[in-house]
Copies of this chain bind each other. A is one copy, B any other.
Amino acid sequence: MSTFYARFLTRRAYARSVLCIGLDPDPALQPPEFRTPVSMVDYLLRIAQATAPYAAAFKPNVAFFEAQGPEGWDSFARLIDGIRRFAPDVPIVADAKRGDLANTARFYAKTFFETYPCDGLTVNPYMGMDSLEPYLEHKDRGVFVLCLTSNPGAADFQLRGDPPLFEAVASAMEKQNQKSGNVWMVGGATRSTEQLERIKTLAPSVPLLVPGIGAQGGDLASVLSVTGPNALVNASRSILYADPEGDFVAGAENAARVLTEQMRAQLVDL
């Protein structure tokens, strides 16, 4: 199987987009008829199918499925399977932010790379490099390491120290990527351009997954000015709930198209 990065490049070239569509179904935001574990996935699949032409990747957040118990996990499986049917070349990144001792992390890797066969997984670096090994061993999968997140609380620990923690993570991930070639990093769009530039300087080989545009308020143009095309830029709620009371499929398709057109306008080689 080719690497995640190779699949990303192929998909990016075909879709002419670096848009990652976050599939984070919050029952409180869903139309009333799409709030059960089963109907929730019907909603997501309709949106995924309509937005697939603009998707460089899909990123379901596992928390929303997990909270619904075993039925939620059945739904997660059905979502992956459904996307594979109509968009087999769009990589799926499970946003689960797992992190545990290597002995245990092997089981999380099994969960998201075998039980639910995703192409990539977000992970948390707090426990150190040995805790990431079980994911990194899967050379064909993308390992998306949290570096600098989009929430205000990121300042509490990630910005602490001189150089700050997120820079140490970035440096460690550059080193790791030189060895394994399957590392990505998460850097929030709500951070300053300088901070994202710092990450790119310290880890030039590591592509970025950038959440935080749309509902969280990050600016797409600023993000792209730093990352260039070697990135996935994520939007979730602003696509999923572009028009939840009206024609949610058309609303999502339109939101994804607008973002993609902005990307194409700014990234001339896309």
Q: Chain B residues near A116: list those with CB within 8 A.
A: 69
Judge whether A63 and B104 touch: CB under 8 Å: yes
Q: Which of B67, B71, B130, B151 contacts A151 (CB 8 A)?
A: B130
Judge whether B157 and A160 touch: CB under 8 Å: no
Judge whether A127 and B107 touch: CB under 8 Å: no
Q: A70-B70, A70-B73 are in contact. Are A63 and B105 (CB under 8 A)?
A: yes
Q: Tell me if A111 counts as interface (CB < 8 A to partner B).
A: yes
Q: Chain B residues near A98: list those with CB within 8 A.
A: 63, 97
Question: Whose C-beta in chain B lies nearest to the C-beta of A27?
Answer: B107
Judge whether B151 and A127 touch: CB under 8 Å: yes
Q: Tell me if A246 counts as interface (CB < 8 A to partner B).
A: no
Q: Which of B101, B103, B105, B161 contacts A160 (CB 8 A)?
A: B161
Interchain CA distance A150-B66 in the complex, whole Å? 27
Q: Which of A119-169 contact B (CB under 8 A)?
A: 124-131, 146, 149-158, 160-161, 165, 168-169
Judge whether B63 and A70 touch: CB under 8 Å: no
Q: Tell me if A54 counts as interface (CB < 8 A to partner B).
A: no
A22 nearest CB across to chain B (Å): 10
0/1 string, A57-77, CB within 8 A of B gives 1: 000010110111111011001
List, sorted by A's number, 19 A–B pairs whose CB atoms are closer than 8 Å: A24-B104, A63-B98, A69-B77, A70-B71, A73-B73, A97-B100, A97-B124, A101-B149, A102-B153, A124-B124, A124-B126, A125-B156, A127-B146, A128-B149, A128-B154, A128-B157, A156-B172, A160-B165, A165-B165
- Extra 8 A-B pairs, beta carbons < 8 Å, given A63-B107, A99-B126: A63-B100, A63-B111, A64-B104, A69-B73, A70-B74, A128-B153, A131-B151, A157-B168
- A interface residue numbers (CB < 8 A to B): 24, 26, 61, 63-64, 66-71, 73-74, 77, 97-105, 107-108, 110-111, 115-116, 124-131, 146, 149-158, 160-161, 165, 168-169, 172
